[in-house]
Amino acid sequence: MYVMRRMNGKTIAWSLLSLSLGTSAAFAQEKEDSTANQFSSRPIAEGDILMKRTLWRRVDLKEKQNISMFSKNNEITRYLLEAAKAGLIDAYTNDSCATKITGDELHKRILIPNQTAGLSAEEIAAGFGEPAKTDDGWGAKPKAEPTKQAVTPDDGWGKKDTKPEAAAEDDGWGPPKKKSSKKKNGKTEVAKEEVPVVEQPKVDTTFQTEVAATEEEYFPEQLNILEIKEDWTFDKKRSRLYNDIQTLSIILPSEQTATGLELPVASFRYKDVERLFRSDPKKYIWYNTHNTAQNKNLADAFDLRLFYGRITKFSNASDKAFLDIYNGDKEALIKSLNYEQELMELEHGLWEY
């Protein structure tokens, strides 16, 4: 009996110990997951990262290598904007993905400028669009027409009628009615001629009020620049390099803006974008120009790196792009290509390590 009690006590002790270890392991696992990258579709634990650099790539969708993402009616910018307006994915103001923008704000960001028809409020206040005034523009009042004197009609024999009647003129509404005389209480009364009432033409006030603006958006084929933010990460546990895409940003090209500067439209987390693309593999396609039977999903195209994007910026203390560091576009382009080669050499060195 004593032995059984002792065994029961050991069993209870082992059970409590296993429960405590399991709880601590669960907390450790939860803590490890919380350190993973929340923007990545395949996050890498921070403890497994040997080296990391953040890169910004400019993808021109009209280039030959990228045209498969920008085929007619299958533009990737069209899919991103339509999904954001429908609420399928979240849109953000920039690639930090800290501030969301609503569908109405996104609509305002892609409106074509200078599309307001009619006159502005300042032009209406200045007097444009008002009906023509009666003066001559110099402050003088219009001259009154001289009164027409009654002309005594001639009877054709050189004699003038002593009791002439005013010549009846046709006012455009048919021949005038003759005056008729009636006797009332021994007196002759002349009936008044009925003159038809002519309505005055209404003043056209079309230009007095501002016409509603024609809210036209840019076409998807006009939004042909993507900016990809990715982490160049070397995983020491798997001993391989990963290009971990973080965000996708749509950029309005400089030729479409009045200032000649490129303007950001919206940014999206790649984690949300990949889930959208894989939700309908037959809709969100990467168009294969050589074999349409082998069209791929856009998510697979990103995983296979079937696009080309020139590096415009890398993570640095001053947060400057190549154009800010070097003078001139040509020198910035050369330094960008050199930096690409340096990353390849660094990758080979990490393999030897």
Are the C-beta atoms of residues 96 and 90 closer than 8 Å to each other? no
Q: Are strands 310-314 and 49-60 parallel, antiparallel or unpaired?
A: antiparallel
Tell me the one-letter amino acid at 259.
T
Exposure b/e, 146-174, CB count within 10 A at least 16 = b: eeeeeeeeeeeeeeeeeeeeeeeeeeeee
Residue whose pair of structure tokens reads 């990228």 in the numeric block: 66
- pLDDT at position 29 is 41
Are the C-beta atoms of residues 152 and 164 closer than 8 Å to each other? yes
- pLDDT at position 260 is 82
How distant, in Å, are the alpha carbons of 118, 123, 200, 232 from that of 208?
9, 10, 19, 60
Provide the 8-state DSSP code for 277. H
Query: Does the predicted TM-score (pTM) go above 0.75?
Result: no
- pLDDT at position 232 is 94
Ramachandran area for residue 260 (φ above 0: left; ψ -120 to 50: alpha; else beta)? left
Query: Going residue by residue through the chain (353 aa), what tens digit of pLDDT does each one get?
Result: 444 445 566 566 566 656 565 544 443 444 445 556 778 888 888 888 989 999 999 999 999 999 999 999 999 999 999 999 999 999 999 999 999 999 999 999 988 876 544 555 666 677 665 555 555 556 555 555 555 555 555 656 665 555 555 555 556 676 665 555 555 555 555 555 555 666 666 655 554 444 445 678 899 889 999 999 999 999 988 888 999 999 999 999 988 888 888 899 999 999 999 999 999 999 999 999 999 999 999 999 999 999 999 999 999 999 999 999 998 889 999 999 999 999 999 888 877 65
Q: Which residues contact 34 (CB under 8 A, 6 or more apart)?
A: none
Apex 68 CA angle, 288 and 266, nearest 5: 145
